[in-house]
């Protein structure tokens, strides 16, 4: 790979899209209308819902070694109005 191609890839990776995610984000590569959440995301969503029910000002941090999974979590929680 030459330095021009590498530069183009880096430029594309740093661009922001209409959705507010980087161009290489999984959210810009899948059909969001067809997206079905996973059991892991649903379990996290349910835990957050229960946590907020117990204490409205509660906060949580989610970790994943896969940044694309964090994008999917962000998208799913945004649809459920968790911020």
> Mind spelling out the 3-state secondary structure of the chain?
CCHHHHHHHHHHHHCECCCCCECCCHHHCCCHHHCCCCHHHHHHHHHHHHHHHHCCCCCCCCCCCCHHHHHHHHHHHHHCCCC
47 and 80 share one domain? yes
Q: Does residue 83 sit in the same domain as residue 70?
A: yes
pLDDT per residue of the chain (83 residues) written in tens, 0 to 9: 455 555 455 555 555 554 567 777 888 778 888 888 899 999 999 999 999 999 989 888 989 998 889 889 988 888 887 65
Q: Identify whether residues 74 and 42 lie together within a single domain.
A: yes
| Pair 26, 66 in one domain | no
User: Which residues constitute the domain of residue 44?
Assistant: 36-83
């Amino acid at each position: 790979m030459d330095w021009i191609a590498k530069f183009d890839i880096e430029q594309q990776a740093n661009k922001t899209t209409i959705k507010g995610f980087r161009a290489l984000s999984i959210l810009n590569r899948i059909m969001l209308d067809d997206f079905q959440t996973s059991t892991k995301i649903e379990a996290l969503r349910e835990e957050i819902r229960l946590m907020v029910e117990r204490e409205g000002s509660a906060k949580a941090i989610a970790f994943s070694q896969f940044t694309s999974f964090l994008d999917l979590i962000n998208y799913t929680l945004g649809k459920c109005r968790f911020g």
